[in-house]
């Protein structure tokens, strides 16, 4: 089958048509004023080669056929060919980085190709990451390397299939060029393979798009951007007005809370939750130095830049999201006569997150919310974390093994032997002291009693738990294995993992090796434990 998908793309570029553009047409590094974007063309590369493709994302864009049949997809999504109807541009935005205002940031290595309207009237922005410099690149080269691009491509799709709100990834293209990167900022730069990911989302608008306009006092442009965002991305709220602005901010707070609840459910750590990396749609965006929690540790961060302060550690993510929303609220103050609607949104985040997080933790245990059990259930879900934390426990494996633990026919007394069902979840069995075993058994007693209270059979509980606790996540070491092979010109593991991660809750018996605990060789290896923002 040939590839005819490119001819199907129906571009309808509302962002560039309706919002003010940078008046300077040159692609020079500068401060961009009174504009939401700068038009800029992708940099042509030496030898673009398509190496990975998401058929589900292609279907969203009404694309069909075999993209590997010709090199057309590589040419377009490598940045060498601009199709009729595309209107490439880079966004202007600012942001708080690690809690400090950083001023103008912008799309320094991302170039939006345009908005595609599919046959279902869904709008999708196509964006190339690593397609060359823009006016917002500052001192950087605007490029990306293979290792980070593999991680972005796979994680975007893995998160979607896990049910986590996320941007998507259509393609992964090798540029045929080398890119110099100092991976650990230690003065040892290396030449690495260059690559480009085509990211797809209804919108890539961030908190920082609004912040930069407010910080500069460009309030007319701010209102234009807000009104455009509501009309295109939140049309169900009605025409822009003071009341609509309030409803809009509340919805942002709610969808952001939903996203964080999902992160906590699957053990995902974003690693760099700056306000310029927060989607206005409540989508996970910008897969850089992220990581998957393997041994449960609420203080863990995968980002080397954050190693000392641990601002973006796993357990802190809900509070950081709230802080970021407060910064967005400050940027929107000029739209309101009082701050009360903004405070209402912030309060909604806290209330909604706490309610949804409590329900999520119960679902992970196969339980339902029973109002009469609120206090006891909160203690139960809090205390399971105390069972995992004192010893090195693989969170993903722990919940799957707990789902399989027989509780139906147990006697009133549970003994140490029942912990055998959890053995695979422990990295260091020697840590299972007598005191720990007593704590774990005590918690299992309470859990068994709560299961009996709800009258759930072991079979039903297993089905419930396995629907929300994944068997397969993109473990850091597994992603690194795919990167290692790709560096040698073997892209088969990328494709194999993409297929595996399409079904993260299924058993997939022939893929058990990808559900295993992190091996010892990956404990301290670069790319498996800690990562930098370098890409």
**Active site members:** 276
Other C-beta atoms within 10 Å of 248: how many?
Answer: 23
Q: Under a CB-based contact definition with an 8 Å cutoff, are residues 473 and 162 in contact?
A: yes
Angle between helices 207-215 and 317-331 (to 10 degrees): 40
Task: Choose among 225, 227, 202: nearest CA to 120.
Answer: 202
Give CA–CA dist 367/472, Å, rounded: 22
DSSP tag of 46? S
Q: Under a CB-based contact definition with an 8 Å cutoff, are residues 124 and 13 in contact?
A: no
Give CA–CA dist 419/423, Å, rounded: 7
The residue whose two tokens read 């954050």 is 306
Task: Choose among 260, 277, 276, 285: nearest CA to 350.
Answer: 260
Kindly list the distances between the CA atom of residue 91 and the CA atoms of 94, 116, 208, 468, 493, in Å, as whole numbers in the listed order: 10, 17, 10, 36, 34
Q: Under a CB-based contact definition with an 8 Å cutoff, are residues 114 and 6 in contact?
A: no
Give CA–CA dist 237/43, Å, rounded: 39
């Amino acid at each position: 089958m040939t590839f005819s998908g490119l001819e199907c793309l129906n571009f309808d570029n509302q962002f560039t048509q309706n919002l003010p553009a940078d008046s300077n047409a040159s692609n020079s590094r500068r401060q961009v004023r009174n504009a939401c974007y700068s038009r800029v063309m992708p940099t042509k590369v030496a030898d673009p080669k398509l190496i990975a493709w998401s058929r589900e994302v292609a279907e969203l864009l009404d694309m069909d056929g075999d993209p590997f049949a010709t090199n057309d997809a590589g040419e377009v999504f490598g940045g060498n060919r601009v199709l009729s109807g595309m209107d490439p541009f880079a966004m202007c935005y600012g942001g708080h980085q690690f809690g400090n205002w950083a001023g103008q940031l912008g799309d320094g290595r991302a170039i939006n190709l345009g908005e595609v309207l599919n046959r279902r009237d869904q709008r999708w922005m196509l964006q190339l990451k690593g397609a060359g410099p823009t006016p917002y690149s500052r001192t950087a080269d605007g490029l990306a390397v293979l290792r980070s691009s593999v991680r972005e491509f796979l994680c975007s799709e893995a998160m979607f299939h896990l049910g986590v709100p996320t941007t998507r990834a259509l393609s992964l293209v090798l540029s045929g060029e080398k890119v110099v990167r100092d991976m650990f900022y230690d003065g040892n730069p290396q030449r690495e393979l260059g690559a480009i990911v085509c990211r797809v989302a209804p919108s890539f608008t961030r908190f920082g798009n609004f912040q930069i306009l407010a910080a500069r006092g460009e309030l007319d442009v701010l209102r234009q951007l807000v009104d455009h965002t509501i009309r295109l991305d939140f049309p169900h709220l009605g025409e822009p007005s003071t009341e609509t602005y309030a409803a809009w901010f509340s919805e942002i707070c709610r969808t952001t809370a939903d996203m964080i609840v999902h992160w906590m459910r699957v053990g995902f750590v974003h690693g760099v939750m700056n306000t310029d990396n927060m989607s206005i749609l409540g989508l996970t965006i910008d897969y850089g130095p992220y990581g998957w929690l393997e041994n449960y540790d609420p203080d863990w961060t995968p980002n080397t830049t954050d190693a000392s302060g641990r601002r973006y550690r796993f357990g802190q993510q809900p509070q950081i999201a709230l802080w970021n929303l407060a910064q967005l609220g400050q940027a929107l103050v000029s739209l309101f006569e009082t701050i009360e609607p903004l405070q209402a949104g912030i309060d909604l985040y806290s209330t909604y997150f706490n309610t949804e997080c409590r329900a999520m933790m119960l679902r992970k245990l196969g339980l339902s919310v029973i109002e009469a059990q609120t206090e006891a259930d909160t203690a139960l879900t809090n205390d399971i974390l105390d069972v995992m934390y004192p010893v090195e426990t693989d969170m993903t494996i722990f919940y799957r093994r707990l789902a399989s633990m027989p509780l139906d026919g147990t006697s009133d007394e549970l003994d140490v032997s029942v912990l055998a069902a959890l053995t695979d979840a422990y990295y260091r069995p020697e840590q299972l002291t007598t005191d720990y075993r007593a704590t774990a058994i005590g918690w299992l007693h309470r859990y068994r009693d709560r299961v009996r209270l709800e009258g759930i059979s072991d079979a039903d509980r297993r089905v419930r738990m396995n629907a929300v606790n994944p068997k397969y996540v993109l473990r850091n070491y597994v992603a690194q294995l795919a990167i290692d092979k790709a560096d040698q010109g073997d892209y088969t593991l990328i494709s194999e993992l993409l297929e595996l991660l399409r079904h993260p809750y299924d058993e997939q018996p022939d893929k058990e090796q990808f559900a295993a605990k992190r091996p010892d060789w990956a404990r301290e290896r670069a790319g498996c434990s800690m990562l930098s923002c370098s890409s």
